[in-house]
């Protein structure tokens, strides 16, 4: 089958294209190489949150005009 190129790697900083907090890529979910479901983590206040997001919904933060190195 067609395998999607792994767009992000562990430790990359990403955010949803629709906005929201910066998130850290934890891993590419096994078995989702075609759709690229990434487990991402972020802090909401002091709480660590996590969720799965398809790669098409994410963008690297370094491409953001507000990103400072």
d(CA 28, CA 46): 25
| Residues 6 or more apart whose Cβ sits within 8 Å of residue 23 | 13, 14, 15, 16, 40, 41, 42, 53, 58
d(CA 35, CA 30): 11
What pLDDT, on the 0 to 100 scale, is given for residue 1? 47
Q: Is the pLDDT of residue 5 over 70?
A: no
What pLDDT, on the 0 to 100 scale, is given for residue 29? 85
pLDDT band at 69, cuts 50/70/90? very low
Instruction: Please tell me the least confidently modeled range out of 1-5, 33-37, 47-51.
Output: 1-5
| Residues 6 or more apart whose Cβ sits within 8 Å of residue 48 | 41, 42
Percent of the chain with pLDDT over 70: 78
């Amino acid at each position: 089958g067609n395998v999607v190129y792994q767009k992000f790697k562990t430790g990359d900083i990403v955010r949803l294209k629709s906005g929201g907090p910066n998130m850290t890529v934890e891993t590419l979910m096994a078995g989702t190489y075609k759709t690229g479901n990434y487990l991402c983590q972020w802090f909401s206040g002091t709480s660590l949150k996590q969720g799965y997001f398809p790669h098409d919904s994410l963008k690297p933060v370094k491409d953001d005009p507000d990103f400072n190195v």
